[in-house]
Structure 1
Amino acid sequence: MVLGVVLLLVSWQVAVDGPLLGLDRWARHAVRETRHTLHSTPLNHLGKAFSDLGGGSVAVPVLLLGAAVAARREFRAGFARWWLPVPVAVLTAGLIPLLVVPAKAWFARPGPFGLPLAADQWGWYPSGHTATATLGYGVAALLLARTAGPRSRRVLAAGTALLVAGVGLGLVWSDYHWLLDVVASWCLGGLLLWALARWPLTARPGARRPPRPGD
């Protein structure tokens, strides 16, 4: 509910150019001042590297690889529907642009530099890289968690959260996105992951029934 309310509030403010967008301007100014004060080339490179991890050329292959590994582990563990991780991953990869691209085109929000959108640009809201990272790495972690123990699931959850946070913060640090672009995609991805985690396809299914004599 909280994620949904925040997503709706931010989207409304972006649509009407509301006062909440002052948070974006404050964050951009603070980041630029900090970047100028530190003048750290390694930190700037780190921000760009994290930003790049949100690209489809990185996150989608990781998602598909994670699904393949999950399917193999489930097959070896005797899960009845061991093949499900692969179609779930493929559907997720196709869903990301279907959610993000129409929203970008509808809101048509200029980027942090304030330049008007070119004819071939969709807009900056919500952040496509953040959504891709949240859903790509998040769904991969959910699928791998089906055969993981409690400690491994905690490590997967923490690692994925840190990675997704790094992508979003890297985008803001590098002036690729407004802060609220990133927050909206975190909320959107979080809502979908919450729903998927409660869907039978990503629950821990039962193992195959061992064959009985005469089967």
Structure 2
Amino acid sequence: MLGRALPAPLAELLADLGNMTVALPVLLLAAGRSGWRARTAPLPRRWLPPLAAVVAMALVPALVGPLQAALARPAPPGALAGETGFYPSGHAATAAVAYGAAALLLLPYAAAPYARRLLITAALVLVLATGPGLVVRGYHWPVDVLGSWALSAALLTVLYGVLHGIRPRPGAQQAPVTRRSAAPRGRPASGGPS
């Protein structure tokens, strides 16, 4: 049904959004822009976000490749039938991490609420459009794409934590800090008899 609604040339174009040659330049442009915008910040703070995003992208093939080899999932019927190594989808993970990380890098510089919504929406559209393209073209099963999105969500959550820090929720109770007396051991803290 999806194949009839999505013509093959369009499906191929959408599948190509997950190619490293398409997605990586988007991430690198966002990383460069983020580094440039933060050029007045102290050196570690300036380059931590772009570096963390590039490391997250480098983790995609480092995680997906061994998983594909270990699971040896067969290809869907079609041109790739008989081959294995299709779960999780490398293209879906590449698209999700590249476009998601690019959005996370640029989000602090989108001051207007509509610009922030537009940035997040664009990243989601690019990520979600890749999946149907991969399935319709017969490159992956739907579960291959879903597995990649789950892996990518984990990577992007860690990246978000690195970029924005893990902060306690507002209003959350924190454990009280207790101070010990500065009196030496063996002596009472008060001025009473020893």
TM-score w.r.t. length of structure 1: 0.69
What is the match of residue 203 of structure 1? 164
Gaps of at least 5 residues in structure 1 are: 1-29, 205-215
Counterpart AA for 1:198: G
Bigger RCO of structures 1 and 2 (CA < 8 A, at least 6 apart): 1
Is residue 115 of structure 2 the alignment partner of residue 160 of structure 1?
A: no
- Asked if 1:173 is matched to 2:173, the reply is no
Note the aligned Cα RMSD (angstroms): 1.9
Give CA deviations for 1:48-74 in whole Å, capped at 9, x if unaligned.
Answer: 001011011111121111100111112
Inter-CA distance 89–195: structure 2 relative to 1 (3 Å threshold): closer
Whichever structure has more helix as a proportion of its residues is 1
Q: How does 1:64-79 map to 2 (within 5 A)?
A: 64-75=28-39, 78-79=40-41
| Residue of structure 2 equivalent to 1:57 | 21
Report the counterpart of residue 151 of structure 2 in structure 1: 188
- The count of residues paired between Structure 1 and Structure 2 equals 160
Q: Is the 8 A contact 1:68 1:85 kept in 2?
A: no
Matched ranges for 1:36-115 at <5 A:
43-75=7-39, 78-80=40-42, 81-113=45-77, 115=81
- Secondary structure of the residue aligned to 1:83 is helix
Compare CA radii of gyration and give the structure with the larger one. Answer: 2
Match of 1:129 in 2: 91
> Which stretches in structure 2 are left out of the alignment for 5+ residues?
166-194
Q: Is residue 112–residue 178 contact of structure 1 (8 Å, CA) maintained in 2?
A: yes
Q: Percent identity?
A: 43
Deviation of 1:153 after TM superposition, in Å, equals: 2.0
Structure 2 distance, partners of 1:191, 1:145, is: 19
Residues in 2 aligned to 1:136 and 1:71: alpha-carbon distance in whole angstroms: 16
What's the TM-score, normalizing by structure 2? 0.75
1:147 to 96, 99, 109: 109
Preserved CA contact (<8 Å) 1:59 1:132: yes
AA aligned opposite 1:116 = G
CA contact (8 A) 1:172 1:178 kept: yes
2:189 is aligned to: none
8 A contact 2:56–2:155 mirrored in 1: no
